[in-house]
Amino acid sequence: MRKKRFRFILITVLMLISLGIFTTDVHASKDPTQESGTKTIQCDACDGSGVCMECLGSKESCDSCKNSRQCTTCQGSGYIASPSKFYNTAWALLPPLIAIGLALLTKEVYSSLFIGIIVGGLLFANFSLEGTLLHVFNDGIANVLADSYNVGILVFLVILGTMVCLMNKAGGSAAFGRWAKEHVKSRVGAQLAVIILGCLIFIDDYFNCLTVGSVMRPLTDAHRISRAKLAYIIDATAAPICIIAPISSWAAAVAGFAEDGQGLSLFIQAIPYNFYALLTILMMVGLVLMKIDFGAMAKHEAMRLKTMMYLVEKAYISR
């Protein structure tokens, strides 16, 4: 009890210190959009520069700014008042809460996200129907789709989704699970089979978790591997293998941050330096081969092994 109480106090103190440092940094910032309770946002007309975008502050005569060389929207400050009275208030948390809550209740992600977007548009436009539609469709959907890069990412993800559907329909993952159940005869082999299947499904980490979990659960249950150990192996395979695979949703997202279309090339060159992914996979394989468990996972594994030994003894006595 004393150790738990001391740990709780220590964590609480560290959190308070971190919060104090963060608050100090925020209030020390010269950016007015970072001040507590502010209604100020960055000016879209000049991107916060405060300079007239017509003459860029260099022309001797400019009809737009009337030779003031300042942005007429923000008067040279770079910041304007937010058009929404809900900006920087607790109401801003409502759209994501609605989207997450509906997703959990309905198990339908797309409609939940769309409803969350509509709620966000309503708050932005102060519950004006016309303003909501203009903001969601013109400033949001149409503006995003007007960018060729965003369209390229969308097409790439659609192709990945098509490949995922083909893999499900072809039944390759399920066939691997049936083959492993027939040929794998040990606990180590079952865990290695989970790792191998996880490495083969590198298109998307979420699809990896869902597929490997459902396919390999019967095999791991047969060898009395705890669900905690199975969850660790799946999670330690899914994200690391996806962030070093050139053909994956991660590659599409990460490569987009580079300019001049060199994102994919830089992503491939950076694979040997992705130490988190490489060391996580190496550590996971080492733990499986050396039969090492730790933390809560070790407790679940010990409990699972005791259950297996009890069933073996019971079967032997019944004979």
Please give the C-alpha separations between residue 57 and each of 51, 54, 62, 69, 240, in angstroms, as whole numbers: 6, 8, 9, 4, 49
Q: How many percent of the chain have pLDDT more than 90?
A: 8
Q: How many percent of the chain have pLDDT more than 70?
A: 76
CA trace torsion 304, 306, 311, 315 (10° rounding): 150
Please give the C-alpha separations between residue 214 and each of 173, 177, 217, 248, in angstroms, as whole numbers: 10, 9, 6, 21
Please identify which residue in the block is written with the tokens 């499900």: 168
pLDDT at 279: 93
pLDDT tens, residue by residue, 99-154: 998 888 888 888 888 999 999 888 888 888 888 888 888 877 877 777 776 777 77
pLDDT tens, residue by residue, 265-311: 888 888 899 999 999 999 999 988 988 888 888 888 888 777 765 55
pLDDT at 18 over 50: yes
Kindly report the pTM of this predicted structure.
0.56
pLDDT tens, residue by residue, 210-230: 788 888 888 888 888 888 888
- Name 40's bridge partners: 81
Q: Which residue has the higher pLDDT, 11 or 20?
A: 11
pLDDT at 174: 77
Alpha helices, H only, the chain? 2-28, 94-106, 109-124, 129-133, 143-145, 148-170, 172-183, 187-200, 205-222, 227-242, 249-255, 263-270, 275-290, 295-318
pLDDT tens, residue by residue, 244-273: 988 887 887 777 777 666 778 888 888 899
